[in-house]
Amino acid sequence: MTRLALVLVTTALVVAFALLAAAAAGVLARIDGATYPAALLRAGATFAAGLTLAAVVTQALTAVLT
């Protein structure tokens, strides 16, 4: 597997997990009684946090391994 393929697969997995976490956060917020806009805001914040966490971990690993 080439590096490019590895990067693409990893990126796809990170985005998929961030989407799953965002969907779960939105559903849980809606079950908790939040309005649809509030649930979407929570889902968006969760998605952004997931991608930010992945970027930070990637930067830390890059700094350690190079």
For residue 41, pLDDT beyond 90: yes
Tell me the C-alpha to C-alpha distance, in Å, between residue 29 and each of 19, 21, 22, 36, 39: 15, 12, 10, 9, 5
For residue 34, pLDDT beyond 80: yes
Q: In this structure, what token pair is assigned to residue 45? A: 């914040």
Residue 35 binned pLDDT confidence (cut-offs 50, 70, 90):
very high
For residue 1, pLDDT beyond 80: no
Q: In this structure, what token pair is assigned to residue 55? A: 């970027």
For residue 7, pLDDT beyond 90: no
For residue 24, pLDDT beyond 90: yes
